[in-house]
Structure 1
Amino acid sequence: MAAQAGETDYQLVFVPWFWQPEYWVGPGEGFRRSGEESELVGLYQLNDGQLAWRRRKIAELSVGGTDGTHSFRQEYPCTVVEAFQVSDSKSLIKAVHVMAARSCASRDESAPLILGVDPARFGKDSTAFVLRRGREVVAMEKFQHLDTMEVVGKLLEWVRLHAPKKVFVDVGGLGAGIVDRVRELGFSDLVTGVQFAQRASNSTSYTNKRAEMWGLMNGWVQDQPVNIPDSDELHGDLTAPEFGYDSSGRLKLEGKEELSKRLGRSPDLGDALALTFAFPVARDDVVAFRRPVDAGMARGAWS
């Protein structure tokens, strides 16, 4: 994972199972692709012989009535992320939706640019910047070992370079000082601090703001087309958090500390992208303010 993030001199080399010519069997007469298999063909250009071999191997891995699909993904992954991924049933954002977004090239020129900044809390974590414009992630970058003023400098550099309409910053750890300094420099209207543990805007559906942001991001990824960088690291961040529901039926997300302990790192890029969903930002073509009547805001008016 450190090699994947470019944090060491080691180089990550990954060979997907479908590069192996022996992983193929005759599909037989009457072979029909399932919906999931059709998605795999679209993502990885698999043929029916490879799909037939995959079916056979999943059947072998299905022990005691359990579905062997997750075990297959771990033993015969299509991407480096799948080798270490939790079960899709536990992951809030599904791998198939992320893979579709990685292979998409759609643009969303009319949407406002929104910047999410997740400052590092501990020495081993990185400060992550992710810039989203509607249906696409325009840019992302991580920085290590930056102090508060250095993060402020990077943030202002991104503001000058990209001119985002809004910047959302996690105010846990270093974040509060960063927001205070940027506002002091005259950017009060541009920058908003977000506390992950604060009350969700839709508190009947989400336990806190972090669960709400990730829940909205999950809906965004599912509502294709979505265009994100072809990055294993971002893929791993997005599919990492597990989810559940509280006694009131509200979505709750695996705690950031528990997640970091399980992964051995923090999903910095995922949290930075989630921050771009903290609050609605009006599109540039919307002149008058319109208060949303419910959680289903007009898609043409908000991003």
Structure 2
Amino acid sequence: MGRGGRSSIYIVDEGAHIDQAEKVEAAIIGNADCRGWVSSVNGMGNLFYRKRQNDSVKVFTFRLEDDPRKTPEWIARKKASTDPVTWAQEYELDYGASAEGVCIPGPWVQAAVKLGKLLGDRLGRWMSPTAPGVAGMDVGGGGKGKTVLVIRKGPVVRVPKSWNTPDNITTTHSALDETRQAGAGVMNYDPIGVGNTVTSTLKHANTDGLKVYPINVGDSPSDAEWPDGRKAKEMFANLKAELWWTVRCAFQRSYELLLFLEGQEGGCDHPLEDIIVLPDSKELTGQLPVPKWLKNEKGRIAIESKLSLARRGIPSPDFAEALVLTYAPEPIEDFVMPSVTPVFGGRGAGLLS
């Protein structure tokens, strides 16, 4: 598509609906210096959405109300005869509406952002520099793979930090410094693959005042018992699925709390300790509603793999995975050397469908 020609301008129509859009982008770069992507909305898991959220890209938005043929009467009739999800996606440009099969639906993510602004001073005790916190680090290898650090204090998630460098030794020290400065006492990281460099670096780094744990999300689930009486090992394919589902539950509670505060149907008053509040980070809010959940051959919940995401043309959700690591249960040991694989103890969590 577009490869081989030379043009003054190249327009890609319905770019959000094109399979392997990254390959199309690579092909047309040599075709034209001026390239425009036009599309209706198709969720967040595609190149068009990422372009739309890029502040360096010029964006023109044509809304329903901008069409002089679409009178208020026409809009009312059309909306009454259209499925709400379809209406939100096709006519209101709602990127979070088409959330079929995703682990964390877009509206839940947006609710967590809105709650941060709505609750304000009620979140004060978690905003303090001395409040305990947990950091999660998803390790990248440079190029498109960023190393991302997310710090969470209770329900409050801070603005993520990221480094786009293959020098994971320097990045590890930077992450330790950021964690200390934020007042967080724990830093979790994924030691698999490029995370090995972090493990090696930590053996010689100054970790005084910090508990640093390698969290292999491919391990078995924890021994936690969920409210319906089932063990995590009966419910989830691996620790990754358990952690993502724990985060999903927190987002659902945030969504229900927002509905409650706004007096809408389906609302529920949840303790603030049980919700999650997000900063207005485009990378984080854009990645969370992307991975899908499924059930494996044993009927256990699994989360879409990076390979499956790549087949859909979606890069690794490094910001989202860094956040998920902040929910890993702390190992039983008081202190764990980076080379030791931790054994997880139980912890309670809510189970929401």
Give the alignment's TM-score, normalised by structure 1: 0.71
Alignment correspondent of 2:300: 250
Where in structure 2 are the equivalents of 1:166-245 lying within 5 Å? 166-187=186-207, 190-201=211-222, 202-224=232-254, 225-245=275-295
- Cα distance in 2 for residues equivalent to 1:148 and 1:101: 31
SS at match of 1:176: helix
Other structure's SS at 2:136 match: strand
Specify whether residues 53 and 236 from structure 1 end up closer, same or farther in structure 2 by C-alpha distance, changes over 3 A only.
Answer: farther
CA distance in 2 between counterparts of 1:192 and 1:233 reads 25
Choose from 265, 274, 287 the match for 2:315: 265
- 2:72 maps to 25
How far apart in 2 are the matches of 1:53 and 1:274? 43
Kindly indicate whether residue 142 of structure 2 is the aligned counterpart of residue 92 of structure 1: no
8 Å CA contact retained: 2:142, 2:164: no
The C-alpha deviation readout for 1:238-296, integer Å capped at 9, x for no partner, is 100111112443211111221133243211111110111111599xxxxxxxx987644
* Matches of 2:331 and 2:115, distance apart in 1: 24
Q: Gaps spanning 5+ residues in structure 1: where? A: 27-48, 60-67, 283-290, 298-303
- Residue 13, structure 1, aligned to residue 49, structure 2: no
Q: 2:177 aligns with which of 157, 160, 172?
A: 157
In structure 2, the CA distance between the partners of 1:151 and 1:24, relative to structure 1 (3 Å rule), is: farther
Cα separation, 1, equivalents of 2:244 and 2:142: 22
Amino acid of the structure 2 residue aligned with 1:197: G
What one-letter code is carried by the residue in structure 2 that aligns with 1:218? R
Aligned-residue Cα RMSD (Å) equals 3.3
Identity %: 23
Give the conservation status (yes or no) of the 8 Å contact 1:183–1:191. Answer: no
Distance 1:233 1:16, change over 3 A: farther
Q: Is the 8 A contact 1:118 1:170 kept in 2?
A: yes
- Whole-Å Cα distance in 2 between the matches of residues 54 and 117 of structure 1? 46
Q: Which residue of 1 aligns with 2:79?
A: 55
Specify every segment of 5 or more residues in structure 2 that has no aligned partner in the other structure, as ranges: 1-46, 223-231, 255-274, 333-343
Please tell me whether the aligned partners of residues 103 and 293 of structure 2 are also in contact (alpha carbons under 8 angstroms).
yes
Determine the structure 1 residue equivalent to 2:90: 75
- How many corresponding residue pairs? 251
Q: CA deviation at 1:215?
A: 0.6
What whole-Å deviation, never above 9, does each CA across 1:53-73 have from its counterpart, x for those lacking one?
6624x62xxxxxxxx444444
Q: Which amino acid aligns with 1:96?
A: P
Give the CA deviation at 1:141: 2.1
Match of 1:138 in 2: 158
CA contact (8 A) 1:128 1:268 kept: yes
Structure 1 residues 97-108: aligned runs within 5 Å? 97-105=108-116, 106=119, 107=123
- Give the distance between the partners of 1:163 and 1:146, measured in 2 at CA: 27
Local SS of the residue matching 1:203: helix
Contact 1:16 1:78 in 2 (8 A): no
Amino acid at match of 2:284: L
The structure whose Rg is larger is 2
One-letter amino acid matched to 2:307: E
